[in-house]
Each structure stands twice: as structure tokens, then as C-alpha cells.
């Protein structure tokens, strides 16, 4: 069995999140800098592995003051915890989709998370690179990772929701020089 190695193409990928704001609306954001690798066994995807590292300082919600607050010790504390890391532990087929279970390390806390993933397909780009793509979603409770800052609103409820929805769109390029024999 041969496992192919793929490098995430950050210019054609996205790491997005959605959080409730003031109970009544949602704020969307993304991380602009990240890297990662996929080790894919296309004959049996359950033997595949995913590793990704996200630069916490690259958080972007299109509002500079909010981004500065999210980088502060109230939230991500990027000076102490400059990266978020995901390492898969298992991949299982579920209908047409896949369930990817792995460890997410955020704010110095590691918790198991489960993502629902959809394979987008494969193809060659105009420059001869073989590409693969997938999308995945999950939700986490930010308080489970020690991100507990909040403010009670006058009308009730909290300024920042605890549930964070995560949406990934990933495109990766085959590293033709690297294969892993298993």
C-alpha cells in the first residue's frame, strides 16, 4: 500500500468560523495563514492522516479592533499560544461523506473534535499539478478551550456566543516526490 502526501494550498483554501454576537446576529471570520499535510491512502481512506497548523495571529473578522481583542489574553492570547493545531486520529466513511476525528489544540488546550467532511474530487491544474479538495464542518464550545471571556448584555444574554461553527475548504497539491510506505 502506498500513501500519497499532499500539501495544503493556502491560497486556494479557507479556514472560516462563525460566532453569535449579542444573541441576535452572527460574526464571520477566518484565519489567513495556515499550513498542513494530508497523507492519503486512496484505497482505504481510514488509513489516511491530516495535520494542520493555523497561525492564530492571522485571525481576520474585517474589524481591526475586534481582531485585536480576539488576539488578546481575553481570547486567543496569541503571544502565549501562537498556533492552533489539528491532528487526525481516525477517518471513517458515512454515506457519501467522511467523519474525521482528531485532536484540536487551541489556547493551549487539546480536545477531540469531529468534522463532517465531503470530498470535492481531484484534477490537474493548468501547470500540471495534481490537486485534491474537500470541505469540512464542525462546531466547538469555545469555553471548553479556556476561552471564557464574555459580557452580560443589559437585555440579557451574552455578548459573544459560546458555540463556534468552523467551516473548512481545502485544496491540496500532490507532493510527487514524497510517498509514505505503510
Looking at the predicted structure, is the pLDDT value of residue 53 above 90?
Answer: yes
pLDDT in tens, 73-123: 888 899 999 999 999 999 988 888 899 999 999 889 999 999 999 988 888
pTM of this structure: 0.86
Domain boundaries, the chain: 2-181
Percent of the chain with pLDDT over 90: 38
Looking at the predicted structure, is the pLDDT value of residue 32 above 60?
Answer: yes
Which has the minimum average pLDDT: 108-112, 121-125, 130-134, 157-161? 157-161
Average pLDDT for 148-172: 69
Q: Residue 171's closest CA among 7, 13, 11?
A: 13
Q: Does domain 2-181 have CATH number 2.40.128.110?
A: yes
In 3-state terms, the chain is what percent helix, strand and coil (to 5)?
Answer: 10, 60, 25
Looking at the predicted structure, is the pLDDT value of residue 16 above 80?
Answer: yes
Using pLDDT thresholds of 50, 70 and 90, give the confidence band for residue 150: low
Long-range contacts of 61-70 (CB under 8 A, 24+ apart): 61/27, 61/28, 61/29, 62/29, 66/27, 67/29, 70/29
Helices (H), the chain: 64-71
More confident residue, 161 or 135: 135
Amino acid at each position: 500500500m502506498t500513501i500519497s502526501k499532499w500539501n495544503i494550498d493556502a491560497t486556494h483554501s479557507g479556514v472560516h468560523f462563525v460566532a453569535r454576537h449579542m444573541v441576535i446576529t452572527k460574526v464571520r471570520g477566518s484565519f489567513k495563514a495556515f499550513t498542513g499535510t494530508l497523507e492519503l491512502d486512496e484505497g482505504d481512506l481510514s488509513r489516511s492522516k491530516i495535520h494542520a497548523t493555523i497561525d492564530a495571529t492571522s485571525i481576520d473578522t474585517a474589524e481591526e479592533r475586534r481582531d485585536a481583542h480576539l488576539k488578546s489574553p481575553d481570547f486567543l492570547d496569541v503571544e502565549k499560544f501562537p498556533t492552533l493545531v489539528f491532528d487526525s486520529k481516525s477517518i471513517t466513511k458515512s454515506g457519501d461523506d467522511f467523519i474525521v476525528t482528531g485532536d484540536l489544540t487551541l489556547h493551549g488546550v487539546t480536545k477531540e473534535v469531529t468534522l463532517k467532511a465531503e470530498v470535492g474530487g481531484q484534477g490537474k491544474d493548468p501547470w500540471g499539478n495534481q490537486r485534491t479538495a474537500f470541505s469540512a464542518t464542525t462546531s466547538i464550545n469555545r469555553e471548553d478551550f479556556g476561552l471564557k471571556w464574555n459580557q452580560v448584555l443589559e437585555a440579557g444574554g451574552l455578548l459573544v456566543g459560546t458555540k463556534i461553527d468552523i467551516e473548512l475548504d481545502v485544496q491540496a497539491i500532490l507532493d510527487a516526490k514524497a510517498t509514505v510506505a505503510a
